Chains A and B, each alone.
Chain A
């Protein structure tokens, strides 16, 4: 309420007394999930400005037909960068930041399970973003669309480095995303406060948990595709180039197997925000909590099965098309369940039209439209007309902006008081809301008609056909309304940070645990927790006359609490399995028919069998090492560990010799499809073995210098799991690459 709060006072507010001496370090080296969450969101905001300017330039070029504001290549990299930036550098970081901030609080936890891994994740975002934008200085930004279809993104057609920077930056960002996914899963499994069973999780936390499985499954698929593209571009590989025997369509399968789950990875957190905000401002719990929770699981599962609805026009054949029609229309059902439940939540409530509620109701309605046009795309014959037109552009912007950005704005207005201790301005908030809603609908509703009128997407200009100029101009005007709304939002953020009225612990009278502590929370999050018997502990606490029905403890699964480090490694292994799965499938696909030229007959199966046996034996030795640790026979533990390292080393040396021999006989990566797939698959396996050896050496080093008398050394078990996984992968690879050709 003191309108003259100075910058000094605000800064003092953001840092503890000890940190004020080292404020730079406090934020740059933080492992506190709250600070990391804010860093994620600020990074996302910076890239939102960049991506937004790119959008405005695009719309300015399209404002009249035959416009000459931008050269075609400029336009083409603008829409490529706009899409890539908005998805990977805005939507994901901002949502991951919100999940990072709120999840531990809702669980009643002190922090995420792996705070240092969390810090790695957040710093990979600006790193990846800078890498991507470095392409401007290295010959030009990529101009192949955010999904970089081959062969256009291959070296013969995109010879500059832009695509390489794009691929590498996405790899970096993907690693960060997977690390965040692992952290979310293990945090939910291991950091919940007593009484917070899985069934008592608030929907935001439950959906974050489910979403994390999608993250760890989908991003590795993209990573596999990206390394394959880079091998094509930089090493002369043949994966996606038809004249080498490769398949241009294979890229699309791999990309969309990632890409469709990806859109759910950004949509589910938006659903999660709506599921928190709408009940609080209707003054009622969510209608059908279990159904909303269950529908999330169904969506996660189905979203992995719909990818080729992005490929209806590539000529996969009706049978294949129809499978994806079925899966895609099916996914509308659990999605509809959510929409109906949010709507029913508001019925009979006492609606409070705060800025967060306005944005979330708007998000619900825009998502209704976007979801319905999505169903129209799932009907393949309609997609045969509307795909790659502005109708499609309108559809996905209804989801990305109408649902996701509006939900983000609602969520930020909702949780800003918790994060900063101050309220945002409702007056400015209403202006933001109307500018965004009017602007969004002006921009994108008309694009449905524009697409049906025949305008294709990704065109730097268009002919002066009747109606096209007018429709485009309306669309461009709308974009500037949104720009104004966004500027107002940032303004609101800044002045509220300095001059907003104090928020108190629970300004909205909400019910989940983040509101059971100060605003902002102390470093350790909670000094005390209320009793947790239902999904709304604070409602129960404030309404002892009519508490929520107790959510019973549902057996072992509900209270499942695995060891943190084992859970982390196993989650990581799941993600790696996805990565290798794609490489193995690609190998099988490309080597299914015998090709002429150097093939599997070049391989020395006998020699490889020998060092393979060594690798398999090393699984035995590490198992003995863990047994030694359990029996407190530390000498044995170290001896077996050394044996493991030696055997693993033999494998690597053996593989290195094999590669050397192959190179000497002229079998290099770019020679033919067999060589490309062989070196990629075995090479990445070898890389994983090498990293495993490094980890084993570190474990050995720690074992040698530490006092392990109390028998606790979880790192050994963790690396053990990883090592067994690498061996299992080799069982598959060895069988498929070396043994199968012998019996074929």
Chain B
């Protein structure tokens, strides 16, 4: 199946993400989707055909005319249009079972990445290397990684349409999926289970890159933050430690090790902030620090009412956290 052509035909390349599978798991679902669409279209055409025939193929009602032959039914036809759908749904059941096995294989005893849903951000912990990050999950190309999904609070749902099925994160009940990407790129993921005020802005990114690049990323993520050099940045770190930022955020290499909010050790290496509500630019970072509630109302980080000077110092420090 020439996916590119099909995709282009279906509303332009890449827009319809479910029709743009980039992993074997998503492709298995996509293949079944095509079968189901064909079945739906055929049944639709048959019934619409019958209805059109009924509406257009016989004389209209006219006042005073004798009513037509009062046909009660036909047992044979009833059996036929019960048996055929029964066969079709049986086939759909069998295909479902098969596709479930391919798109959602059983998990290994221990996962590669633990993903924890929070109101309203995603925590990611790489079990093998020990990397801890937030909202941006890097994976090596062509390899299937096992994810374990938990929740720190309410139900969330992890959905990156091009790559995998969606799966809920349930507090107290870990779930598992496999994640793989065969084409390099940045894939947008969504929280798809309503989880409160900012459910709409609980995005995440899956960055799929060649093995060497991934390993470089992983190594870089493991490095602790170096002490800041510039005066503003040093003041920023001091503010970070004194103004209760450390109550929620961790930065490896400092005294901050709390896990309530996103780990900030390599914040400056990430493409977005606020779980996708804004691009990670110096200007947006300052807007966030000035008052996170103005950027993402309801977010769990309060407005600390920093002065402009404090914002500059903090931002200068955080921008060193590459």
B128 CB–A CB distance under 8 Å: no
B302 CB–A CB distance under 8 Å: no
Instruction: A390 to B4: give the CA distance in the assembly, Å.
Output: 24
A-contacting residues, B52-77, CB 8 Å? 53-55, 57-62, 65, 67-74, 77
Known contacts A249-B173, A333-B82: A351-B54 contact under CB 8 Å: yes
B224 CB–A CB distance under 8 Å: no
Interface string of B17-40 (1 = CB under 8 A from A): 111000000001100110011001
Pair A321/B100 contact, Cβ less than 8 Å: yes
Pair B50/A149 contact, Cβ less than 8 Å: no
B199 CB–A CB distance under 8 Å: yes
Task: Choose among B69, B89, B168 the residue that contacts A315 (Cβ–Cβ < 8 A).
Answer: B168
Interface string of B95-109 (1 = CB under 8 A from A): 111011101100000
Known contacts A247-B172, A379-B95, A456-B192: A289-B73 contact under CB 8 Å: yes
Pair B170/A314 contact, Cβ less than 8 Å: yes
A347 CB–B CB distance under 8 Å: yes
B260 CB–A CB distance under 8 Å: no
Q: B residues within 8 A CB of A341?
A: 73, 78
Instruction: A387 to B29: give the CA distance in the assembly, Å.
Output: 13
Interface string of A463-489 (1 = CB under 8 A from B): 101110000000000000000000000
A452 CB–B CB distance under 8 Å: yes
Pair B197/A76 contact, Cβ less than 8 Å: yes
Q: How distant is A180 from chain B, measured CB to nearest CB, in Å? A: 31
Q: B residues within 8 A CB of A462?
A: 200
Q: B residues within 8 A CB of A369?
A: 44
Known contacts A285-B72, A348-B69: A330-B195 contact under CB 8 Å: no
Q: B residues within 8 A CB of A145?
A: 194
Instruction: A501 to B199: give the CA distance in the assembly, Å.
Output: 53
Known contacts A289-B73, A381-B100, A466-B12: A372-B44 contact under CB 8 Å: yes
Known contacts A157-B153, A385-B165: A315-B170 contact under CB 8 Å: yes
* Residue of B whose beta carbon sits closest to that of A466: B15
A682 CB–B CB distance under 8 Å: no
Task: Choose among A71, A463, A546 the residue that contacts B297 (Cβ–Cβ < 8 A).
Answer: A71
B190 CB–A CB distance under 8 Å: yes
Task: Choose among B51, B71, B72, B93 the residue that contacts A325 (Cβ–Cβ < 8 A).
Answer: B93
Of A225-233, A360-368, A517-525, A653-661, the one contacting chain B is: A360-368
A389 CB–B CB distance under 8 Å: yes
B131 CB–A CB distance under 8 Å: no
B9 CB–A CB distance under 8 Å: no
Task: Choose among A72, A318, A337 the residue that contacts B78 (Cβ–Cβ < 8 A).
Answer: A337
Q: A residues within 8 A CB of B71?
A: 284-285, 287, 348
Instruction: A313 to B74: give the CA distance in the assembly, Å.
Output: 42
Instruction: A549 to B36: give the CA distance in the assembly, Å.
Output: 42
Pair B15/A453 contact, Cβ less than 8 Å: yes
Pair A372/B43 contact, Cβ less than 8 Å: yes
Of B136-144, B154-162, B178-186, B227-235, the one contacting chain A is: B154-162
Q: How distant is A90 from chain B, measured CB to nearest CB, in Å? A: 22
Pair B165/A313 contact, Cβ less than 8 Å: yes
Instruction: A346 to B68: give the CA distance in the assembly, Å.
Output: 11
* Residue of A whose beta carbon sits closest to that of B87: A333
Q: B residues within 8 A CB of A453?
A: 11, 15-18
B145 CB–A CB distance under 8 Å: no
Q: B residues within 8 A CB of A459?
A: 199-200
B284 CB–A CB distance under 8 Å: no
* Residue of A whose beta carbon sits closest to that of B79: A291
Pair A248/B155 contact, Cβ less than 8 Å: yes
* Residue of B whose beta carbon sits closest to that of A244: B172
B210 CB–A CB distance under 8 Å: no
Q: A residues within 8 A CB of B100?
A: 318, 321-322, 380-381
Known contacts A381-B28, A458-B199: A388-B51 contact under CB 8 Å: no
A326 CB–B CB distance under 8 Å: yes
Pair B92/A152 contact, Cβ less than 8 Å: no
B167 CB–A CB distance under 8 Å: yes
Known contacts A329-B92, A372-B44: A313-B166 contact under CB 8 Å: yes
Pair B93/A329 contact, Cβ less than 8 Å: yes
B-contacting residues, A608-659, CB 8 Å? none
Q: How distant is A451 from chain B, measured CB to nearest CB, in Å? A: 8
Q: B residues within 8 A CB of A460?
A: 199-200
* Residue of B whose beta carbon sits closest to that of A372: B40
Pair B58/A333 contact, Cβ less than 8 Å: no
* Residue of A whose beta carbon sits closest to that of B189: A454
Known contacts A283-B68, A288-B74, A313-B166: A361-B11 contact under CB 8 Å: no
Pair B157/A313 contact, Cβ less than 8 Å: yes
A505 CB–B CB distance under 8 Å: no
Known contacts A149-B194, A365-B51: A72-B298 contact under CB 8 Å: yes
Quick one: which of A290, A291, A349, A546 has the most chain B CB within 10 A?
Answer: A349
Q: B residues within 8 A CB of A559?
A: none
Q: B residues within 8 A CB of A247?
A: 172-173
Q: How distant is A103 from chain B, measured CB to nearest CB, in Å? A: 24
B238 CB–A CB distance under 8 Å: no
Q: A residues within 8 A CB of B119?
A: 157
Pair A322/B165 contact, Cβ less than 8 Å: no
Pair B29/A382 contact, Cβ less than 8 Å: yes
Task: Choose among B43, B155, B165, B198 the residue that contacts A151 (Cβ–Cβ < 8 A).
Answer: B155
* Residue of A whose beta carbon sits closest to that of B165: A384
B-contacting residues, A350-366, CB 8 Å? 350-353, 361, 364-365
Pair B11/A449 contact, Cβ less than 8 Å: yes
Pair A248/B172 contact, Cβ less than 8 Å: yes
B86 CB–A CB distance under 8 Å: yes
Q: B residues within 8 A CB of A495?
A: none
Known contacts A322-B97, A388-B192, A466-B15: A350-B68 contact under CB 8 Å: yes
Pair A318/B104 contact, Cβ less than 8 Å: yes
Q: B residues within 8 A CB of A373?
A: 40
Task: Choose among B18, B40, B74 the residue that contacts A452 (Cβ–Cβ < 8 A).
Answer: B18
Pair A379/B32 contact, Cβ less than 8 Å: yes
A127 CB–B CB distance under 8 Å: no
Instruction: A285 to B198: give the CA distance in the assembly, Å.
Output: 54
Instruction: A285 to B73: give the CA distance in the assembly, Å.
Output: 9
Q: How distant is A395 from chain B, measured CB to nearest CB, in Å? A: 12
Instruction: A735 to B157: give the CA distance in the assembly, Å.
Output: 40
Known contacts A73-B298, A349-B58: A289-B190 contact under CB 8 Å: no
Pair A343/B51 contact, Cβ less than 8 Å: yes
A586 CB–B CB distance under 8 Å: no
Known contacts A151-B153, A151-B154, A313-B157: A333-B85 contact under CB 8 Å: yes
Task: Choose among B78, B89, B99, B188 the residue that contacts A381 (Cβ–Cβ < 8 A).
Answer: B99
Pair A332/B85 contact, Cβ less than 8 Å: yes
Task: Choose among A289, A322, A346 the residue that contacts B51 (Cβ–Cβ < 8 A).
Answer: A346
Q: Could you pull out 29 A-B pairs where Cβ atoms are within 8 angstroms?
A: A71-B297, A151-B153, A151-B171, A152-B194, A285-B71, A288-B74, A289-B72, A290-B73, A313-B166, A329-B92, A336-B82, A344-B50, A348-B71, A351-B54, A369-B44, A372-B40, A378-B92, A379-B36, A380-B96, A381-B100, A381-B103, A382-B36, A384-B165, A384-B166, A385-B166, A389-B192, A454-B190, A548-B70, A548-B72
* B interface residues (Cβ-Cβ under 8 A, vs A): 11-12, 14-19, 28-29, 32-33, 36-37, 40, 43-44, 47-48, 50-51, 53-55, 57-62, 65, 67-74, 77-78, 81-82, 85-86, 89, 92-93, 95-97, 99-101, 103-104, 119, 153-155, 157, 159, 161, 165-168, 170-173, 175-176, 188, 190-200, 203, 276, 297-298
* A interface residues (Cβ-Cβ under 8 A, vs B): 71-73, 76, 144-145, 149-152, 157, 242-243, 247-249, 281-285, 287-291, 313-315, 318, 321-322, 325-326, 329-330, 332-333, 336-337, 339-341, 343-344, 346-353, 361, 364-365, 368-369, 372-373, 375-376, 378-382, 384-389, 449, 452-454, 456-463, 465-467, 539, 543, 546, 548-549
Extra 11 A-B pairs, beta carbons < 8 Å, given A381-B99, A543-B67: A157-B154, A248-B155, A289-B73, A291-B78, A326-B93, A349-B58, A375-B40, A376-B37, A379-B95, A388-B192, A449-B11
Q: Which 6 A-B pairs have the closest CB atoms?
A: A242-B172, A384-B165, A346-B54, A459-B200, A352-B61, A315-B175
